[in-house]
Amino acid sequence: MQKDIFQKIEEAGKPDFGDILTRSFEFFKLVWQEGLVHALITMVLMLPVMIMIYVPYVAFFFSAGAFNNYNHDGEYYSQEYMEPDFLLYLPWIILFGAVVFVLIFIAQAVALAITAHFFKVCKKIDTGKPQDVGGYFYYLKHGNFKKMFLLALASFGIALAATLLCYFPLFYVMVPLQLLVVIFVFNEDLSVSEIIKASFKLGHKFWLIIFGLIIVSSLIAQLGILLCFVGVFITAYFVHIPIYFVYKDTIGFNDDPLVVEPHSKSSNQ
């Protein structure tokens, strides 16, 4: 009988910080090109969203901002004359805010979907399986986008609640939030609530180790800035590699005989 993910987490052994970091460096040599492609695809998909957000904002600033302080004769309007203008624009401001709110979550869902595909590629390279051509948008269709969107909403809600509690809880939820996508990718049958529950269960059990890996890998991922800023696209996805190995060494891939079971380090030497 196959164990469910919660039982696997309960029985998981402690991941080795140094071993995961070392394997991540070695594995990065194999997947850096895929990481670069995924980073560029994410950037390209984010550009239209940024344009849709900032172009109306800039246009509104110039049409209703500082230039409205003066009339055609160059005479300055006092604040009391500007209040009716603000009330006139208020419905548009509310509408713009709502549109931006939705666009941000759509963008976040798309980014999560691209990251999800990267984890899928990592497993195929790690196990020596042939890679599919393309497939970068797999998690944007087949009914997965809805789950990605809900995960983006849940991430925002959890982070917002943690921030409102004087920021310190944000450091705690940072770990389970980083585990959401990798748990989803290898457990697509789980509901959004189950994914969140599993992420917090695993994150709570090995919080300090995973937190340390996130901090170190995030710093390493930013080293690409030294290469005239363009290099950051090469190193950006390094931050996801330790998370992949944390999942592999704790929950594991029991459905795949080619994948090394947790803590079987002999084959990784």
147-206: pLDDT as tens digits = 999 999 999 999 999 988 887 888 999 999 999 999 999 998 999 999 999 999 999 999
189-248 pLDDT, tens digit per residue, is 999 999 999 999 999 999 999 999 999 999 998 887 776 667 788 899 999 999 999 999
Tokens of 176: 């389970």
Q: How much is the pTM? A: 0.82
**To which residue do tokens 């999560």 refer?**
112
What size, in residues, is the chain? 269
Mean pLDDT, rounded, for 95-113:
90
Tokens of 191: 């509901």
Q: What confidence tier does 263 reach under pLDDT thresholds 50, 70, 90?
A: very low
Residue 182: its pLDDT value, please? 97
Q: CA-CA distance, 88 to 120, in Å (whole number)?
A: 50
Note the Cα 104 to chain centre separation in Å. Answer: 13
- The answer on pLDDT for 135 being more than 70 is yes
Residue 86: its pLDDT value, please? 61
- The answer on pLDDT for 72 being more than 50 is no
Contacts of 7 (CB under 8 A, 6+ apart): none
Contacts of 133 (CB under 8 A, 6+ apart): none
